[in-house]
Chains A and B, each alone.
Chain A
Amino acid sequence: MRYMEISKLQRLLDLLRQQGELHSPVLGDDGVTRFELLPPGKLPDLAAIRTQLPPKKYLLHPQETILTYQADAGYRVPLATVPAMILFGLHPCDLAGISYLDRIFLGDEPDQLYLSRRAALTLIGVSCTPDEFCSCRLYPSPLEAWYDLFFQQSVDGIAVSIGSPRGAELMKILDDVMEERELLLPEDTRCFFGRKIPLPPESELDQGLPEWQVLAGHCIGCGACSVCCPTCSCFDVLEFGGLDGSSAERLRRWDNCLFRSHAEVAGGMSFQKDRAQRFRYRYRHKYRGFGQVKGVPGCTGCGRCRAFCPAGLDLRALAGKLEGDAS
C-alpha cells in the first residue's frame, strides 16, 4: 500500500498547494483551532481533536446572499467561480458530516451555491484518536464518509487509501513523496451514525419523557450546539431592499431549532412553543432524520455540541437509551 514517511509532510503540503488553496486545521494564537488557509511553512494542527466550526462553513456560509433582485434582470443566483480548494486533515466525523450535507443539498434539486463550492473541494481525511467528548464509538452503524484520499496515521508515517477518481489522480501528483510498503493496518472499529438504520417506533420519542424538560431547563439557548454541528444545516431566509430603491438581496443565515423563531409562523403562532418540545424535535431530526435524510442519523459523533455547550449538556445517555448502545 502507498505510504509516506512523516518527515515528508512539508513536501506533501507543497505539492498539494500546487493543486489549489490548501486549508487545514490551524491552531490560532487565541488557542482556538480552526479550518483556515495553511500558509507555506506552517504545519497543520493534526493533534487537535476538533476545530471549533466544522468544515460545513466552506459549503454553507454562516450568512450569505442566495438571490439578488434587479428590476431589469429579475432574480439571480449569485454564482461565482470557486477556486479549487483542498481540505486537508478532515477527521472521519467531518467527512461523514460533508457526506450528510451532500445528501441534503445535492439531492433531488441540487442547491446551486452548495454544488459550486462542493465541486471545487478535494477532501483529504486523516485518522484520529477520539477523546471524552467523541461518540463515534457508541452507535451500531458503520461510517458512511466520502473522501478523495484518506491518511491513516501510524507510528512514523501515513498509509493512504484512495476514495475517488479525483483521489487517484491526485495520488499520481503525490507519487514523489510516496513509497510502497506492506502494512497491516488495524481494522477501524469506529462506528458512526451515517447509514440507513431501521427506525425504532416513533412512540419511543414520547413527549412525556422527562429528559426533554431536564434538557430544556439547563439549556441557555446559546446556539453553539447547532452552529458547531457538522450536520446542522437549517437556515433562516431574509430579504433586504437595496439603497437604489429597486434592487433587493435575499440572504440565508444559519438557524437553530432550539430558537423560538425557528418554528414561528405568521401571526406569532408556533409549532414548537417551548424549549422542551424543541429538544424533542432536535433529537428526532438529529438521530432519526426526516425529509431527504429520513432514517439517516445526523450525528457523526464529533463531540462539538458537548465540547462547546456552556451548560455541559450531553445527549449521549439519552441516545444510548433510545437508539441502543453498541458498547
Chain B
Amino acid sequence: MKRLRVAITGLTSCSGCQLALLNCEAELPQLLELVDFRFFPMACSPATLESDYDAALVEGCLSMPHEQELLLSLRKRSRYLVAVGTCAAWGGVAALKNDQDREQLRQQVYGTDSTAALETFSPLPLNAVVQVDATVTGCPPEKEELIGLLTGLLKGSLPTLISYPVCTECRMKETLCLLTERSALCLGPLTLGGCGALCPALGVPCEGCRGPVPEANLAEAMEIYLQKGYAQEAACERLRRFCPGWRA
C-alpha cells in the first residue's frame, strides 16, 4: 500500500500536540507502516521541505514572520492542511494577551534596552492566514483523535469536528455535574467535546481547553454562572485562556 506522505511541524506552541503523537508508543510501529513522516523536525532529521505532501499537520499559532512563511509553503505543497491542537485552531494560550499592547508586552519580557529585533505579532490561529481543511482541537488532542486523523487521511477522509459540548460526554459517563451540584465554574457547556470529559470525570471543572462549541449560548451560560456566584468578567477571563475570541 502507498504510504501517506506527511509533514508535521510546530509553530508558536509547546510541542505538546506533536508529543502526544509520539506518545502513541504502542501504535507507532504499525503507524509507520502506513505513514511516511517525510518532514517532522521534532522527531527525525534531516528535515528539509520536499515538493509535495499528502497532508501537513501543523501545531501552534502564528506569531512570527518566518512561521507564516513556513505555513504558506506547507500549504502550497500539501493536499490537506490540518490544524492540530487548540493553539492552531483558536490561538490558544499564546494568544492570552492579544488584547494588550504588543510593544509593551515585548518590553515586559525582554526589557526596554533589548536591541535585538524580535519580530512578533499578535498570535493568530492558522485559518487567519491559510485555508485549513480540518481541525483536531485539544490541548493536547486525544491520542485516538490523532491516530484516527492519520488512518482517516490514508483513506482520503477528513475527521469531522465534534459539535457537542464536554457536558454531553460528561453525562454519558454519568459523572457528578460540578456546575449544578457543586457550583463550580465549569466551562463544559461552552467547550467542544472529544476529550471524554477528562477533567470533570476526575472531579476538576472543565477549563475550556478545546475551544468554543458551535452555537455556544454564552448569554445563558453567563446567567447560570452568575447564579452560582461568578461575575461575568471572571468567567470570560477563564474562557479566554484558550481562545481569545470569547467576548460576553
Contacts and interface: CB of A to CB of B under 8 A. Distances in A.
Contacts of A28: 176
Interface string A217-231: 111111110011000
Interface in A198-240: 217-224, 227-228, 238, 240
Contacts of A261: 160, 163-164
A34 B174 contact: yes
Sorting the interface of chain B by its residue count into under 10, 10 to 19, 20 to 34 or 35 or more gives 35 or more
A316 B79 CA distance: 52
Given A30-B176, A261-B163, A245 B1 contact: yes
Interface string A243-264: 1110000000010100111000
A240 B215 CA distance: 27
A223 B33 contact: no
B148 interface: yes
B174 A310 contact: no
A277 interface: no
A219 B188 contact: no
B45 interface: no
A34 B175 CA distance: 10
Interface in B183-214: 188-190, 203, 213-214
A258 to B, nearest CB: 9
In the complex, which of the residues A31, A227, A261 has the most CB atoms of chain B within 10 Å of its own CB atom? A227
A228 B168 CA distance: 10
| Majority secondary structure, B binding face | helix
A254 B172 contact: yes
A311 B30 contact: no
A67 interface: no
A53 interface: yes
Contacts of A224: 167-168, 171, 177
A308 B180 contact: yes
A241 interface: yes
| Majority secondary structure, A binding face | loop
B217 interface: yes
A223 B167 contact: yes
A59 B221 CA distance: 33
Contacts of B175: 32
Contacts of B181: 31
Contacts, number: 103
A220 B217 contact: yes
Given A52-B174, A245-B34, A223 B165 contact: yes
A63 B30 CA distance: 25
Contacts of A218: 217, 220
B152 A240 contact: yes
Contact of A219 (B1, B31, B172, B217): B217
Contacts of B172: 53, 62-63, 227, 254
B237 interface: no
A263 B74 CA distance: 35
B189 A310 contact: yes
Contacts of A223: 164-165, 167-168, 171
A220 B221 contact: yes
Interface string B215-227: 1110011001000
A221 B34 contact: no
Contacts of B180: 308, 310
A286 B167 CA distance: 22
A224 B151 CA distance: 31
A308 B177 contact: yes
B170 to A, nearest CB: 9
Contacts of A217: 217, 220
A50 interface: no
A320 interface: no
A242 interface: yes
A32 B217 contact: no
B171 A228 contact: yes
Contact of A245 (B33, B148, B189, B224): B33
Contacts of A219: 217, 220
A243 B220 contact: no
Which 4 residue pairs are nearest across A and B when measured between Cβ atoms?
Answer: A223-B168, A222-B167, A241-B151, A62-B172
Interface of B: 1, 27, 30-31, 33-34, 147-148, 151-152, 154-155, 160, 163-165, 167-168, 171-177, 179-181, 188-190, 203, 213-217, 220-221, 224
Given A243-B151, A245-B154, 17 more contacts: A53-B171, A53-B172, A62-B173, A219-B217, A220-B217, A221-B217, A224-B171, A227-B168, A227-B171, A228-B171, A241-B155, A245-B151, A256-B168, A259-B164, A261-B164, A275-B215, A310-B179
18 contacts: A31-B181, A32-B175, A32-B176, A53-B172, A57-B174, A219-B217, A220-B216, A221-B189, A222-B171, A223-B164, A238-B160, A243-B30, A245-B34, A254-B168, A254-B172, A259-B163, A261-B163, A310-B180
